[in-house]
């Protein structure tokens, strides 16, 4: 039986054509230029989702939920719901939105689904005087960064290597191949971030302190240069330790 949540797109060629020539509309660009938009990227077990939950509890932030063309699926026996994990859209609905320029960004994933951030999410945040925030794949930051200087891209770094590995192992049983895959991806993600001069970095030593500091940075739009230099050095050291660890794993 074919899993409906991962079945191929019926209008794959239409999506490819629209995405290849996609440009957001003027209203969306104006909204981005008038309001901040926080993008959080991080390697596995750096604590990104926990930081987001902390910030949301302040009432100052709104978590941006992406649209997707795939069908809801079950996670641990519980079916995903509209507006929680994603806004589930039909192919026609998503295509119409793309043709109208209503997406901040959108991407074709494995020729099976299209996902993206709809302008309605940013409007909701603006109307409620909250700061839109979302977790984003690090490669997706380039597209959004080209749209506005008010976008705040933050890369969350895990703490010292031993503590990071303790947190990763504390997530539950993980076989060797899965751990190697995650750590290899972590190297790639950190290296990718270091090649971009737009990222702001914060080291997640303590969830409470990290979240409070990040909130201060976001609301004042200031990230101290000394702090950033130290974070850069920390990132480079993590890469070295990761490579040694994997070589001996």
Residue with tokens 């201060």: 216
pTM of the model: 0.90
What does the pLDDT read at residue 58? Answer: 94
4 has pLDDT over 60: no
6 has pLDDT over 70: no
**Residue 104 φ then ψ, to 5°:** -60, -45
In terms of residue numbers, what domain contains 234? 4-247
Residue 113 host element (H or E):
strand 113-118
- Report the alpha-carbon distance of residue 112 to residue 8 in Å, rounded: 4
pLDDT tens string 119-168: 999 999 999 999 999 998 887 898 899 999 899 999 999 999 999 999 99
Count of the separate structural domains present in the chain: 1
115 has pLDDT over 60: yes
- What lies within 8 Å, CB to CB, of 78 at 6+ separation is none
- Report the alpha-carbon distance of residue 52 to residue 215 in Å, rounded: 10
2 has pLDDT over 70: no
pLDDT tens string 205-232: 999 999 999 999 999 989 999 999 999 9
Q: CATH number for the domain including 160? A: 3.40.50.300
- Report the alpha-carbon distance of residue 46 to residue 231 in Å, rounded: 14
């Amino acid at each position: 039986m074919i899993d409906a949540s991962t079945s191929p797109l019926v209008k794959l060629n239409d999506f490819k054509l629209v995405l290849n020539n996609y440009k957001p509309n003027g209203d969306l660009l104006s909204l981005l230029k008038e309001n901040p938009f926080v993008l959080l990227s991080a390697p596995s077990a750096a604590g990104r989702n926990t930081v987001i939950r902390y910030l949301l509890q302040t009432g100052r932030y709104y978590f941006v939920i992406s649209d997707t063309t795939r069908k809801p699926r079950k996670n641990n026996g519980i079916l995903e719901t509209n507006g929680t994990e994603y806004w589930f859209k039909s192919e026609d609905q998503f295509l119409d939105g793309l043709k109208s320029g209503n997406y901040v960004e959108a991407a074709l994933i494995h020729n099976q689904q299209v996902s993206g951030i709809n302008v309605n999410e940013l409007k909701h945040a603006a109307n409620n005087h909250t700061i839109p925030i979302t977790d984003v794949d690090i490669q997706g930051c380039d597209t959004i960064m080209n749209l506005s200087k008010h976008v705040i891209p933050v890369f969350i770094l895990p703490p010292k290597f031993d503590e990071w590995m303790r947190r990763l192992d504390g997530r539950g049983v993980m076989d060797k191949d899965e751990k190697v895959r995650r750590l290899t991806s972590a190297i790639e993600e950190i290296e990718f971030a270091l090649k971009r001069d737009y990222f702001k970095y914060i080291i997640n030593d303590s969830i409470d302190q990290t979240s409070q500091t990040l909130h201060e940075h976001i609301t004042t739009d200031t990230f101290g240069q000394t702090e950033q230099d130290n974070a850069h050095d920390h990132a480079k050291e993590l890469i070295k330790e990761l490579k040694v660890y994997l070589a001996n794993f």
